[in-house]
Amino acid sequence: MKIVLASDHAGFDLKEQLKPFVASLGYEILDKGAVEYNELDDYPDIIAKAARMVSRSPDRYRAIIFGGSGQGEAIVANRFPYVRAVVYNGESRGALYNDLDEITLSREHNDANVLSLGARFLHEAEAKEAVHRWLTTPFSQDPRHVRRIKKIETNTRSLHTP
């Protein structure tokens, strides 16, 4: 499994901080940009490169994308077939569950293959913890989750072309 990274200017520093961490976990990294801080870059241009790779080869790639909130980046990624992007912005105060449980469920139930991180809401340690959990949690293969993912693919395939 190769991990594709992509960020706009708002997520650039966090991407650069996490790149060696992801590599230290034994993953090959493919960095699709930004390659330098540019306040005028546009996230759709950069994020689409990572999403396209996951869309075309979901068995070979997963992606971690970075932006200010992570929301716009996930919207772009989810426009591509076979991409299931989720957003993580850190811990909600007063939540009933640990927010990292969202990361676990996104992998176990939805086989999420893109993690979108909101750099304006996360510090490095939080982001590393989320990434580690996301990369190490397997898809459950539970028949109901497999069935639901197939329905997502069937119902959206005709809407998009990578």
Active site positions, annotated: 73, 109
CB hemisphere CA count around 55 (13 angstroms):
19
Q: Which CATH superfamily is domain 2-157 in?
A: Sugar-phosphate isomerase, RpiB/LacA/LacB (3.40.1400.10)
What mean pLDDT do residues 123-149 have? 95
Residues 92-130: pLDDT tens digits? 655 555 678 889 999 999 999 999 999 999 999 999 999
Q: How far apart are CA 77 and CA 65, in angstroms?
A: 9
Q: Write down the pTM of the prediction.
A: 0.92
- What is the signed CA dihedral for 19, 130, 26, 5, rounded to 10 degrees? -40
pLDDT at 151 over 80: yes
Pairing of strands 114-118, 61-67: parallel
State the pLDDT at residue 157.
64
